[in-house]
Amino acid sequence: MDEQQDQEVQQIKKKAKWGCLVWIAILIGIPAVYVLYHAVQFSYDMFLEENQLSISRSPANTNTIEVVETGDAFLLGASSVRIKYGSSHIDTSIANDGKPLSSSNVSINWKDEQTAAVTLYGDEQEAEIIDIQFD
């Protein structure tokens, strides 16, 4: 009877160890997942999220130019901007003293059906003109 009780005690100790390990994994895992989720969300917001600033169609509606802000400006840095046209894009930036960009920071003027000039304005830069040529 003594040997059977020792085996039962050993099984109970083994189950208790596994139970403690499971609880430790839960107590560490839940906060780790929470922190990881928010780190990924922050990274997406800072570097990848697109905020449409302006969209314009050519006079005959055959071509489109879209200007989006990618991510957010970090502190007082420049804001990243992507100009999308056709199947291409141009990445550039606007120095706007860290303030959020709006449609007032972009102007799109069509010269003809295949050519446009995109002008980018910022508080800390001269107006930048980028010529877009469709194929």
What residue segments make up the domains of the chain, in order of their start? 1-47, 50-133
DSSP tag of 58: -
CA 65 to chain centre: 21
Pairing relationship of beta strands 88-94 and 106-110 according to DSSP bridges: unpaired
Mean pLDDT score across all residues of the chain:
92
**Sheet containing 106-110, strands listed edge to edge, beginning at the edge strand earlier in sequence:** 106-110, 115-122, 125-133
Pick the closest to residue 53 from 77, 23, 79 (CA basis). 79
DSSP tag of 74: -
pLDDT at 18 over 90: yes
With pLDDT > 70 as the criterion, what percentage of the chain qualifies?
99
At 83-104, the pLDDT tens digits run 999 999 999 999 998 888 999 9
Pick the closest to residue 120 from 133, 102, 99, 134 (CA basis). 102
pLDDT at 11 over 90: yes
